[in-house]
Chains A and B, each alone.
Chain A
Amino acid sequence: MGCAGFWPLGTGVRHLDGARPLVVRVTRVKIAVCVKQVPDATVHKRIDPDTNRLDRSGEGALNATDVNAVEEALRLKEASGGEVVVVSLGPEKAMDSLRKALAMGADRAVLVSDDAAAGSDLVATSRVLAKALEREEADLVLFGQQSSDGDGAVLWAAVSDRLRRPMVSQVAELTVDGDAVTGKRQTEFGYDVIAAPLPAVVAVSDAINEPRYPSLKGIMGAKSKPQEVFSLADLGVDPGEVGEAGSSTTVRAVAPPPAKSDQVKIEDDGSGAEKIVDYLAEKRLI
């Protein structure tokens, strides 16, 4: 996979949200954004007792933090030209959610959908996603922070290892400069500024931007943008390598959390503050 997809167009700085230059030396970049459909946050979520998997039968929505990644890709594209393609693995109806990214301004959607892939764990999912991304030969692969359904967290690291590309995660500010990307990575110890040559994989944090609303024209235009669905066979992935067969983790049981057995409720008789301190000390919280 080379950098064939981008070429210099000149130099310029664009301030999109009034503060931050996104692109220093302007280049056309092909950006693939990995997104996921998750159960709508408003719908009562449950785990299917028969499969021990999250029940995905209800309404879906584009994972909220993936929208930040789409937004960042669009800002890069607006500053430099290029193409934004959203890539996902999921049931066929997940295309409805990908269309939201198209409505925001992404150019194409690629969905890998195959019954055999259902139940894939992180390792199996990264295998399929990497195959789909290899086809795209993007200069930059973007991920959102994590998915609200608890699956696919830290997927970017597994995917970048398979793609054999440099990776920067938890990026709160992103700059593309010629053939390199620089990310301000937020960690427990402050910010690390990390540079990597393209092609690269970047996972953005939800602090990076405030995503736009799709315009009505965008929503109307989304329906006619290219939307491809691939099966595992199309990608040359052996069904035995994905789904439950290709996964190395298993869900043994699902249970409600144990009821709080030691709840204490007291009336303040003037010693309430002391009792709280004693309680916190006993729990070693102070």
Chain B
Amino acid sequence: MSTLVFLETHDGEPTRGGLGVLSKAAALGAGDVSAVVLGTGVRDAAAKAGAHGAAKVFVVEDDALAAPLPQPRVDALEAVVAESGAENVLFAASVLAADVASGLAARLEAGLNWDLTDLRVDGGELVGTRPALGDTVLVEVGWTSTPRIGLVRSGTFDPVESGGTTEVQDVSATFQDFSTQARLVDHLQEESSGPSIEDADVIVAGGRGLGGPEGFSMCEELAAALGGAVAATRAVVDAGWYPYSAQVGQTGKTVSPKLYIALGISGAIQHKVGMQGSGTIVAINKDPNAPIFDFADLGVVGDLAQIAPKLTELLRART
């Protein structure tokens, strides 16, 4: 079973997500693993691919691939898949990669499974895991034909350096007329004021237990120390302690950060459904019977006003 991993590059560097999927593909230990980089000036990225387990890296260098646009990448990948004979084509989800994977699936009439949070090989078959219904069930998905296209949820696999070297193979692609019609005319750097709660890897959320609107400064400081965003429960948004845009839950936003720190949140189901997909949940609450302790990975029963500032201080000291 041969696997090809799409390595998205940004400023010539492969993204962490792509290297993570590549590392995972190598760790599956089922057949050849190669990578593909597309763009201009991306040849250096190939070496990094080798260090993360790709025995071979296919490179398509073409001006048509200079801008981060999906459609020419579908054309290039079509050529690389034909050249490599890959049976699995894996992507780390991103705005760009999702479009590329879907376009490629249509082009090759291939099956696409997305939002995968795990991959394994079972009886010679590739099997993926996809959470569904707000992460309340896990669906085991497979493919009935090749190539099998898989899009892995962002941040699922960490890159692991195995230190290997790689063989680079150039491939040339022909581009469809329609693929090159969309043009990048401008790029605007994001006005950064910290990540939004939908994008944040870390969220510090506050509830009634903060005692009042002033309690949110504790959340903000802790979030700043972790490079995260601040969220709030409906109760405190209703009470006017924090803006509606930060509300997480049934009638607010649904988030799935890697780390969710809940300060003074009881954990009613209306809140839980908005954050239960979080990777790790840490809760601090003075009420030992708060429902949040039923689903927190780490629960600390205690006084927020004591613990949270100290936690911020300790985290600041580490960096």
Q: Does B144 contact A (CB under 8 A)?
A: yes
Residues in B neighbouring A116, C-beta threshold 8 A: none
Binding site of A, secondary structure by majority: helix, strand, loop or mixed? mixed
Q: Could you tell me which residues of chain B, from 96 to 138, have a CB within 8 Å of some CB in chain A? A: 96, 98-103, 105-107, 109-115, 127, 130-133, 135-138
Contact B139 A254 (CB under 8 A): yes
Q: Contact mask A160-175 → B, CB, 8 Å, 1/0?
A: 1110111111100000
Given A123-B109, A249-B113, A250-B144, A268 and B303 contact (CB-CB distance below 8 Å): yes
Given A190-B187, A195-B182, the answer on whether A255 and B299 have CB atoms closer than 8 Å is no
Bound-state CA distance A276–B186 (Å) is 44
Which residues of B sit under 8 angstroms from A197, Cβ to Cβ? 181
A188:B94 contact, CB within 8 angstroms: yes
Establish whether residues B111 and A248, one from each chain, have CB atoms under 8 Å apart when the complex forms. Answer: yes
- Chain B contact residues, majority secondary structure: mixed
With A154-B99, A192-B68 known as contacts, the answer to whether A280 contacts B259 (CB < 8 A) is yes
Q: Name the residue in A159, A161, A191, A285 with the highest tally of chain B Cβ atoms < 10 Å from its Cβ.
A: A161
Q: Which residues of A contact B308 (CB under 8 A)?
A: 273
Contacts of B103 in A (CB 8 A): 157-158, 160-161, 167
The stretch of A73-81, A103-111, A211-219, A259-267 in contact with B is A259-267
Q: How far is the CA of A200 from the CA of B69 in the complex (A)?
A: 14
Stretch at the interface among B45-53, B56-64, B80-88, B311-319: B311-319
B280 at the A/B interface (Cβ < 8 Å)?
yes
Q: What does the 1/0 interface line of B280-319 toward A look like (CB < 8 Å)?
A: 1010100010000101111111110011101101110010
- Min distance, Cβ A256 to any Cβ of chain B, angstroms: 6
Give CA–CA (A218, B296) in the complex, Å: 47
A42 CA to B143 CA in the complex, in Å?
A: 32
Contact A264 B297 (CB under 8 A): yes
- Chain B residues engaging chain A, CB cutoff 8 angstroms: 10, 67-71, 74, 94-96, 98-103, 105-107, 109-115, 127, 130-133, 135-145, 151, 158, 176-179, 181-190, 199, 202, 226, 258-259, 279-280, 282, 284, 288, 293, 295-303, 306-308, 310-311, 313-315, 318
16 contacts between A and B (CB under 8 A): A47-B133, A121-B111, A123-B105, A150-B130, A157-B102, A161-B103, A167-B71, A168-B182, A182-B185, A252-B140, A254-B137, A268-B303, A273-B307, A273-B313, A280-B282, A285-B258
